[in-house]
Amino acid sequence: MATRLGQWDELHAGALQTFREAASARPGAADQLVHALLDEDDVDGAWQALHDHDCASSTWLTAAPRRAATHPGDTIPVYRHAVEEQIDHKKANAYRAAADSVRVLRDLHSRCGTPQEFRDYLDQLRERHRRKTRLLAELDKAGLR
């Protein structure tokens, strides 16, 4: 309707401005802003909003694959943080999710040309959590030795 009336650009810009203002004022609104920007395929804008505001880990993880398509190195800290959060849950399904995230990290480091940095990270991760045998088993099962 707005397009037919020639008002889309104005309404669209106004809606995004409302999201931006709300992101600074209300908890959770920044997450909505990021999702709106991703829906608009504005990955750079979404990534900037993540850095400008306090967003949920799940929102970072939603944006990370899109950002990784063009800037894989930018997303490495996001996945490392996710791994630690997943491990902190201390449940089998969380350990499986952590192993999946570590696998993503392996791919990101490969794309960045930093495979040794990944190997060092994996060694440190395994050492730091050496008593979590279920986690180590999930890492082994994922081929992350």
From first to last of its 145 residues, the chain has per-residue pLDDT tens of 445 545 666 677 777 776 666 677 777 889 999 999 999 999 999 999 999 998 999 999 999 999 999 999 999 999 999 999 999 999 999 999 999 999 999 999 999 999 999 999 999 999 999 999 999 999 999 999 9
* pTM: predicted TM-score of the whole model, two decimal places: 0.86
The one-letter code for the residue type at 68 is A
Structure tokens at 65: 């694959």
Structure tokens at 116: 């040794």
> Cα(12)–Cα(68) distance, rounded to whole angstroms?
27
Question: Which of 29, 31, 28 minimizes the C-alpha distance to 18?
Answer: 29
Domain extent listing, the chain: 1-57, 71-145
> Cα(99)–Cα(94) distance, rounded to whole angstroms?
9
